[in-house]
Amino acid sequence: MGIQSNVEVQTEWGIVSARQAGRNLAKEAGFSSVDQARIATAISELARNIYLYANNGEIIIEFLENENVSPPRRGIKITARDEGPGIDNIRNAMEDGYTTSGGLGAGLPGVKRLMDEFDIDSRSGVGTEITAIKWLR
Amino acid sequence: MQPSIIQMIHNQRHYIIDNWLEEINTVQTETVGNNVPKEMDDETNRKFIEMIIDTLEYEQREAKGKLRGFVERLIYSGWPLSYFTRGMQSFRSVLLETMSSGEGVNSKRIFETFYEIETWVDGIVNQIADEYSGSWENTIQLQRHALNELSAPLIPVFEKISVMPLVGTIDTERAKLIMENVLEGIIEHRSHVVLIDITGVPVVDTMVAHHIIQAAEAIRLVGAECILVGIRPEIAQTIVNLGIDLGKLQTKSTLQQGIEAGLQMTQRKIVKCNTESASSVVIGG
Amino acid sequence: MRIPILKLHKYLLISVQVELDDQTALQFQEDLLNKIHQEGSLGVVIDLTSVEMIDSYIAKVLGDVVDMSNLMGAKVVLTGIQPAVAITLIDMGIMLHEVPTALDLEQGLEKLQQELED
């Protein structure tokens, strides 16, 4: 709660520091080694998208705590925000194997499967904001 | 609550209790059934109603504590939630009836009294419902935990060969846990071949097949090979009828055949010893 | 950063001990192909025991390295992929279907020998 990490993604090094920050926070929150890897990988994919398509943006990683439900839920939320060109066709971007960069096309659909909750908000010419949450089991 | 109402309840205490006991007796058979002896019923009923009325004396926190203790005991001995809700409904109607038949009450007064009693009874019903849902959630959690413990660890049967027996229904949550167990086990036991035994899996639908294929792929990635064994005739039929493609996954109908295939893949076989005791077997390489 | 490539007879051995960022991965791809060409190697074992995360980009670079090495006549075996890494790859839908794997460096070498004998 209140603890969060903001990482600017402008260079490839931003990708590395974002996923390291994510792994550290996931470890602290008590996630298993498999979930740590899932979170770090999801961050890496999101950060790479910023680097590849928007040049400039940020990754915010924060602890979540929902005490209104019983038992209380804790987790980690990743927000990837950029002011890039936006995603023209979200349906395509969420399809396995679809790529405009020559990659594997596993990025966004992969992130959705790695995390528990996934939300994407993108406007052409304005930017993209993707949020993804992983709950502690 | 207004002291005058509390006073009124106390004055009519015996009348209220007797009336309520009569009412609850008629609903009792529907809710509790014949699980509890009659004497225990009556005793519990009396304790319950007296406790409810007594809570008027206590501070709110203390009253809640008393109620919780009582309800928890009844939950534990298996009394249904409907006993409490029906009981409180009857209690409310008995109370209201008693209040309105009192001498010299004007309509404004009655309205206030109704309102206060409604609030009081609702509070108690809410608390009881909360206690119940809390205990149900606990039970569900415990059962989920117990189910996860059913996901057996990877069992080494020979050097380099391990078996993962699957029992029961495989949902996504369990499939994830099983996959983690298998992979960690492979590293720990240095397994080269893993036999996934689905003899104990009642139904293999597309979802279960998907989980098994994913596990097989992950097993290959960490550097071992996977054979699916325990495929009963009806499972083979559903797999084909559903058009499930198991891809390159090796399959065998029995665990025994699987072990033989595993030995072959690791360049070994079981040979009979001709010398001395003829019944013993050794693994030759 | 450069990943060291060791030569053992006709084989090349690589143990990746650093976090694979994009630049390092690409540099490694180039170094390995050059080394295969130089030494005329028949087989390569890439050990990933210390790698904690493989995202889709790194997976693609690794898959490409395998394909490229195969084109140059060298078989590649990936070893030591950690359970957590394997699970994330599967979650992402990345199967690395055509790539041979083994538990560790030793098993990887054995596998290469077997495949080259066949």
CATH of the domain at A123: 3.30.565.10
CB pairs under 8 A between A and B: 6
Instruction: Report yes or no on C44 lying in a domain.
Output: yes
Cα–Cα distance measured from residue A76 to residue A60, given in angstroms and rounded to the nearest whole number: 10
Q: Which two tokens stand for residue B123?
A: 């509070």
Q: Which domain holds residue C80?
A: 6-117
Percentage, residues of chain A above pLDDT 90? 47
Rama region for A9: left / alpha / beta (φ>0; ψ in -120 to 50; rest) = beta
Radius of gyration of chain A (CA): 14
Which ipTM score applies to this complex? 0.87
Task: Assess contact for C16 and C48: CB atoms under 8 A.
Answer: yes
Please report, for the domain that includes residue C18, its CATH number. 3.30.750.24
DSSP letters for C28-52:
HHHHHHHHHHHHT-SEEEEE-TT--
Chain A contacts in chain B segment 121-150 (CB below 8 A): 134, 137, 141
Instruction: Report yes or no on C71 lying in a domain.
Output: yes
Touching chains, C (3+ CB pairs < 8 A):
A, B
Mention every residue, 6+ apart, whose C-beta is less than 8 A from residue B185.
Answer: B153, B154, B162, B164, B191
Return the pLDDT at C47.
Answer: 96
Neighbours of C81 (CB within 10 A): 26
Mention every residue, 6+ apart, whose C-beta is less than 8 A from residue C109.
Answer: C11, C13, C45
Q: Phi and psi (nearest 5°) for B141? A: -60, -45
Cα–Cα distance measured from residue B58 to residue B67, given in angstroms and rounded to the nearest whole number: 11
Cα–Cα distance measured from residue B225 to residue B249, given in angstroms and rounded to the nearest whole number: 9
The more confidently predicted of residues B178 and B38 is B178
Instruction: Report yes or no on C1 lying in a domain.
Output: no
Give mean pLDDT, residues A97-121.
82
- Domains delineated in chain B: 3-148 (1.10.490.10), 155-270 (3.30.750.24)
The more confidently predicted of residues C102 and B67 is C102
Mention every residue, 6+ apart, whose C-beta is less than 8 A from residue B204.
Answer: B198, B212, B235, B238, B239, B244
Task: Assess contact for C2 and C31: CB atoms under 8 A.
Answer: yes
Cα–Cα distance measured from residue A88 to residue A85, given in angstroms and rounded to the nearest whole number: 8
Q: CA geometry: angle at C47 spanning C39 and B164, to 5°?
A: 140
Return the pLDDT at B37.
Answer: 59
CA distance C59 to chain A (A): 8
Percentage, residues of chain C above pLDDT 90? 78
A70–B134: do the CB atoms touch at under 8 Å? yes
From residue B128, give the alpha-carbon distance in Å to each of B61, B83, B90, B237.
Answer: 15, 11, 15, 50
The 3-state DSSP class for residue B158 equals strand
Amino acid, res. B214: Q
Token match 């969420």: residue?
A94
Instruction: Report yes or no on C59 lying in a domain.
Output: yes
Q: How far is CA B79 from the centre of its chain?
A: 17
List pLDDT tens digits, range C34-43: 999 999 999 9
B180 touches chain A (CB under 8 A): yes
Touching chains, A (3+ CB pairs < 8 A):
B, C
Task: Assess contact for A61 and A5: CB atoms under 8 A.
Answer: yes
Number of domains in chain A: 1
Q: Which domain holds residue A123?
A: 4-135
CA distance C83 to chain B (A): 5
Strand partners for A73 = A66
List pLDDT tens digits, range C73-103: 999 999 999 999 999 999 998 888 888 999 9
Q: How far is CA B12 from the centre of its chain?
A: 44
Residues of B in contact with C107 (CB under 8 A): 192, 223
Number of domains in chain C: 1
The more confidently predicted of residues B82 and A32 is A32
B1 pLDDT higher than 80: no
pLDDT band for position A1 (50/70/90)? very low
Cis peptide before A71 (omega within 30 of 0): yes
Q: Which of A13, A105, A110 sits opposite C91 (nearest CB)?
A: A110
Residues of C in contact with B186 (CB under 8 A): 83, 103
